[in-house]
Amino acid sequence: MRASGGFWRGLMPRHCVNHERSTKVDFLISVGVTYWHWWSLAAILLVFEMLAPGVFFLWVAFAAVVTGIAKLLFGGMGLEIQLLVFALCGVVATFAGRRWVMRRINAKGDDDNANAPGLNQRELQFRGRVITLPHDMIDGETRVVLDGTTWRLYVGQLLKTGDQVRITGIKGTVLQGEAVSK
Interval 105-155: pLDDT, tens: 776 554 455 555 566 676 778 888 999 999 888 888 999 988 888 899 999
Q: What is the pLDDT of residue 2?
A: 45
In a domain, 115, yes or no: no
One domain, residues 126 and 175? yes
In a domain, 116, yes or no: no
**Domain end residue (candidates: 79, 106, 133):** 106
Alpha carbon separation from 167 to 113, 115, 121, 151 (Å, rounded): 23, 23, 14, 12
One domain, residues 137 and 76? no
In a domain, 6, yes or no: no
**Any idea what the CATH number is for the domain that residue 128 is in?**
2.40.50.140
Model confidence at 29: pLDDT above 90: no
What is the reported pTM?
Answer: 0.47
In a domain, 111, yes or no: no
Q: What is the pLDDT of residue 13?
A: 57
What would the 3-class secondary structure string for the chain be? Answer: CCCCCHHHHHHCCHHHHCCCCCCHHHHHHHHCCCHHHHHHHHHHHHHHHHHCCCCHHHHHHHHHHHHHHHHHHCCCCCHHHHHHHHHHHHHHHHHHHHHHHHHHHHCCCCCHHHHCCCCCCHHHHHCCCEEECCCCCECCEEEEEECCEEEEEECCCCCCCCCEEEEEEEECCEEEEEECCC
One domain, residues 102 and 37? yes
- Domain of 137 in residue numbering reads as 122-179
Total domains present in the chain: 2
Average pLDDT over residues 21-36: 67
Q: What is the pLDDT of residue 57?
A: 92
Report the distance separating Cα 47 and Cα 37, nearest Å: 15
In a domain, 96, yes or no: yes
**Domain end residue (candidates: 74, 106, 138):** 106
Model confidence at 44: pLDDT above 80: yes
In a domain, 131, yes or no: yes
One domain, residues 91 and 130? no
Q: What is the pLDDT of residues 156-177, one digit of tens each?
A: 888 889 999 999 988 888 999 9
Q: What is the pLDDT of residue 53?
A: 82
In a domain, 113, yes or no: no
Cβ–Cβ under 8 Å, residues 16 and 30: yes
In a domain, 4, yes or no: no
Q: What is the pLDDT of residue 77?
A: 85
One domain, residues 87 and 126? no
Q: How confident is the model at residue 47 (pLDDT cuts 50, 70, 90)?
A: very high
